[in-house]
Amino acid sequence: MYQYNGFDTAFLKQRNLQFRDQVQRRISGALSEEEFKPLRLMNGLYLQLHAYMLRVAIPYGTLNSAQMTALASIAEKWDKGYGHFTTRQNIQFNWPKLQDVPDILDALSEVDMHAIQTSGNTIRNVTADHFAGAAADEIEDPRPYAELLRQWSTDHPEFQFMPRKFKIAVSGSAKDRAVTRAHDIGLLLKKRGAEVGFEVTIGGGLGRTPMIGKTLCDLLPKSDLLPYVEAIVSVWNLLGRRDNKYKSRIKITVHENGLQEIQRLVAKRFSELRPQFKGQDQTLLNALKNAFKAPAWIDAPTATFHENYAKYPNFKSWVDINTSPHRNNDYAIATVSLKTPGQTPGDASSAQMRVIADLAKSYSHDELRISHAQNIVLPHVHKSHLFAVFNGLYPAGLATANAGLISDIIACPGMDYCALATARSIPIAQEIALRFKALKLEHDIGPLQIKISGCINACGHHHVGHIGILGLDRAGVENYQITLGGDATETATIGERAGPGFDASTIVSAIERVVFTYLDLRLSNRETFLETFRRVGAPPFKAALYPGGNEGKTAA
């Protein structure tokens, strides 16, 4: 893992001192809320529905146990004993007091963490595949590239006041687990013959105008990454619309100017920038590759794993559903679900964070990842340790075997916390998860991603959910619109709107009808929901949602 050097530490210390002074001036009344707002946003501090909210960056979702333990301590000491892991691999604390925030930032800096550029019109936390450095299908670990981008973009003087926020995601395998096509820039490592490079997509984004990223460069040489990304951002920084915040994201710039024109402008800017990069970036990249080199793998027998797998059905089920193939065959990647039916998706208590941190230290080479699906990953577990990991997770309520299944729901904070929300998301997620738990159908249904947002901003990724739910406000009443057939992977697709929305009391039954339709129509239990949807299209699902053909009218 990358560890801060003297420069990083000094920079952060300085920055925190500056913010401590700003907070004091706000508390004394020397700064008005209006004057304070841009200053707090530069440090990830939002003012939400009930309280301040602090968003802390977890670069490319990678943490070690000391960092996770520090997050647990912060939750305990200065918040209400829990934190919320988000779809952008950040953690949000929902209840900090303003006067405590400087102390929280100092506590974070002690473990190489901060909240810089988690807000504002800047380049936000660079996200990556949560199986980075571990996945069996990986071409190369994407994190050195993500760290290079993080260092380049942090406090970059040219990119602090852009038309709008800017999000970059990197995936190191052709299988896209980082939702790259829903980002302003998506970087997907690809192999063509002996050549490895990045497919660069731009203009992806969700929000009120969802768009799938378009390919700007098919195979970018890896050594051109920084000048090329800088060329894109600087072209948009000049061309992007500042007159209307709803048209300011790069997706609209691409849409209004055309991909070819953007390609031309980026190529021109790239030709100016390329010669200015004289190799320092590559020297740094090589040092970063060294920082991210694989741990020393354990060489031990795995016989006990196979014995326990055959003996304990709960363990078998967890292994089957929550572990994924590792690049070392004696290892597994373990997903720790933060989606026990009935709980708030993505929330972890400080006690749970400590359990996970301790397990990472003992059994995952001290590494953890946060996934965009709001779960936590132990990336490197030797198979002989899987049973101990399972037994460590179980009493903490963390061994739910549902990764990728219907109760593994992504949900934004919605009306329970967010000032922009038009409806609640968390209770709907909880109800759906509990309904399907009671039906005992989850494992039979198989892979199915439900994603819920509490307003049009789409923080819960509903557009790319196999089933998406968007909570709106219709004359003071919560109304939930369903989208079908969305896809967040390398075959990214925006879901199709099914029809009129449902109120809070009927949305769960509506989802049940969609799922039963799938179970009726699938060719076998190996055909997934998305495959069935793609084969038969929306009509049978719409017929189930709106019996009597009242599609055009308000749903019951």
Query: Total binding residues for ligand HEM by CB under 6 A?
Result: 22
- What, of ligand HEM, ligand SF4, none, does residue 48 touch, CB below 5 to 8 Å by kind? ligand HEM
Of 63-92, binders to ligand HEM (CB under 6 A) are 86-88, 92
Candidates 23, 41, 42, 53: give the one binding ligand HEM (CB under 6 A).
53
- Is there a contact between 345 and 260 (Cβ–Cβ < 8 Å)? no
Q: Which of ligand HEM, ligand SF4, none does residue 433 bind (CB under 5 to 8 Å by kind)? A: none
Element (H, E) at 481: strand 477-484
CA distance 189 to 200: 9
CA distance 328 to 294: 11
- 468 makes contact with ligand SF4 (CB under 6 A): no
> Considering beta carbons, is residue 441 or 472 the nearer one to ligand SF4?
472
Per-residue x/- track, 393-412, ligand SF4 (CB under 6 A): -------------------x
- Residue 491 has, within 13 A of its CA and on its CB side, a CA count of 7
Q: By CB under 6 A, is residue 508 in contact with ligand SF4?
A: no
By the 10 Å C-beta count (0-12 exposed, 13-18 middle, 19+ buried), 173 is classed as buried
**Residue 49 or residue 556: which is nearer to ligand SF4 going by CB?**
49
Cβ proximity to ligand SF4, 118 vs 400, nearer residue? 118
Structure tokens of 372?
Answer: 């965009």
Interface mask toward ligand HEM for 158-197; x: CB under 6 A: ------x--x------------------------------
Exactly one of 1, 8, 20, 48 binds ligand HEM (CB under 6 A); which one?
Answer: 48
Among 149, 458, 511, 515, binds ligand SF4 (CB under 6 A): 458
The one segment of 5-13, 205-213, 224-232, 381-389 that binds ligand HEM by CB under 6 A: 205-213
Site pattern 493..532 for ligand HEM (x: CB under 6 A): ----------------------------------------
Judged by beta carbon, residue 125 or residue 308, the one nearer ligand HEM is 125
In DSSP notation, 69-116 reads: HHHHHHHHHHSSSEEEE-TTS-EEES---GGGHHHHHHHHHTTT---T
CB of 550 to ligand HEM, least distance (A): 32
The strands making up 195-202's β-sheet, listed across from edge to edge, are 127-128, 168-171, 185-192, 195-202, 214-221
Among 113, 370, 386, 418, binds ligand SF4 (CB under 6 A): 418
Contact call for residue 453 and ligand SF4 (CB under 6 A): yes
* Cα–Cα distance measured from residue 332 to residue 86, given in angstroms and rounded to the nearest whole number: 24
Cα dist from 218 to 164, 186, 189, 272, whole Å: 26, 12, 10, 21
Cα diameter, the chain: 68
**Closest distance to ligand HEM from the beta carbon of 344 (Å):** 11
Q: Does 454 bind ligand SF4 (CB under 6 A)?
A: yes
Give CA–CA dist 150/145, Å, rounded.
9
3-state secondary structure of 171: strand
Closest CA to 326 of 375, 364, 353: 364
C-alpha to C-alpha distance for 52 and 30, rounded to whole angstroms:
19
546 secondary structure, DSSP code? S
Among 197, 213, 379, 413, binds ligand SF4 (CB under 6 A): 413
Binding residue (CB under 6 A) for ligand HEM from 83, 205, 392, 468: 205
412 binds ligand HEM (CB under 6 A): yes
Question: DSSP 3-state helix, strand, coil percentages of the chain (rounded to 5)?
Answer: 45, 20, 40
Q: Calculate helix-pair angle for 507-521, 529-536, nearest 10 degrees.
A: 80
Per-position x/- string for 456-475, each x denoting binding to ligand HEM as judged by CB under 6 A, each - no binding: -xxx-x--------------
Of 27-35, 252-260, 305-313, 452-460, which segment contacts ligand SF4 by CB under 6 A? 452-460
Give the per-residue contact string, 108-147, with ligand HEM (x = CB under 6 A; - = no): ----------------------------------------
| 286 SS3 class | helix
Q: Does 44 bind ligand SF4 (CB under 6 A)?
A: no
Q: Is position 349 an interface residue for ligand HEM (rule: CB under 6 A)?
A: no
Burial degree of 351 (CB within 10 A; 0-12, 13-18, 19+): middle
Residues in the site for ligand SF4, rule: CB under 6 A? Answer: 412-414, 418, 420-421, 453-455, 457-460
